[in-house]
């Protein structure tokens, strides 16, 4: 049974948020009614029929990012993601970055980086990461000329707290060898790093 909000009249932390997987449009509002109306307006503006289960899809996605107590049919013990940057996240990020440097700054083919970037741009876990802005700026500067046409939509991954503009260029092995192997449970089904996802190309 899909996750659903216990009380849609209660606004979740940071508001109601839904990312359309087909184009990456972020639907954000502070009331449930406005949230659904913005979503419907986006679909109509793009000549897309409003699915009968639109609200179910929106609540299911929103619930994936909420703490226990917000949603029906939730498992309070499931692993969660957060946009907050912890010390452990910073250590893991430095280790991954160091591994990449030690490996000679190897990157994947541009076409693969573009494919990954498109997937991340349309992901609901593509969020603004709260924490060390200096660290993120340093990583971006060292990455230099690494670019994709989706960079304008890329922020940070809520699972690993990585700067997505850089992450999409790194070899799978560099990422999985430094902890992302242990995050398989929380990567969404469409993620290019989730081993049983149709988008995984290990």
Confidence bin at 180 (pLDDT 50/70/90):
low
Write 29-36 long-range contacts (CB < 8 A, 24+). Answer: 32/5, 32/8
Tally of CA atoms within 13 A in the half-sphere of 179 that contains its CB: 15
Residues 94 and 124 in one domain: yes
* Range of the structural domain that residue 18 is part of: 4-72
Q: What is the pTM of this model?
A: 0.80
If we measure between CA atoms, which residue out of 54, 37, 61 comes closest to residue 124?
Answer: 61
Which has the higher per-residue pLDDT, 38 or 158? 38
d(CA 146, CA 6): 43
Confidence bin at 179 (pLDDT 50/70/90):
low
pLDDT of 90 higher than 60: no
pLDDT at 128: 81
Whether residue 157 contacts residue 84, with contact meaning beta carbons closer than 8 Å, is answered with no
pLDDT at 170: 87
Residues 92 and 68 in one domain: no
pLDDT of 182 higher than 80: no
**Rounded CA Rg of the chain:** 18
Residues 96 and 159 in one domain: yes
**Alpha carbon separation from 16 to 11, 48, 65, 134, 140 (Å, rounded):** 7, 22, 11, 29, 30
Decide which of 17, 47, 72 is a domain's last residue: 72
d(CA 150, CA 119): 10
Instruction: Say if 129 falls within a structural domain.
Output: yes
Decide which of 72, 107, 132 is a domain's last residue: 72
DSSP 151: G
């Amino acid at each position: 049974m899909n996750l659903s909000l216990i009380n849609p009249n209660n606004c979740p932390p940071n508001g109601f948020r839904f990312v359309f997987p087909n184009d990456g449009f972020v639907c954000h509002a502070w009331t449930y009614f406005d949230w659904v109306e913005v979503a419907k307006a986006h679909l109509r503006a793009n000549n897309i029929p409003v699915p009968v289960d639109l609200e179910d899809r929106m609540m299911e996605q929103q619930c994936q990012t909420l703490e226990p107590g917000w949603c029906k049919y939730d498992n309070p013990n499931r692993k969660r993601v957060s946009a907050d940057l912890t010390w452990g996240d910073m250590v893991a990020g430095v280790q991954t970055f160091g591994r990449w440097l030690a490996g000679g700054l190897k990157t994947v083919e541009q076409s693969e980086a573009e494919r990954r970037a498109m997937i991340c741009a349309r992901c609901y876990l593509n969020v603004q990461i709260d924490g060390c802005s200096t660290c993120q700026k340093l990583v971006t500067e060292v990455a230099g000329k690494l670019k994709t046409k989706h960079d304008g939509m890329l922020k940070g991954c809520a699972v690993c707290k990585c700067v997505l503009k850089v992450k999409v260029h790194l070899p799978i092995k560099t990422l999985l060898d430094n902890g992302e192997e242990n995050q398989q449970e929380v990567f969404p089904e469409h993620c290019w790093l989730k081993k049983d996802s149709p988008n995984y190309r290990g």
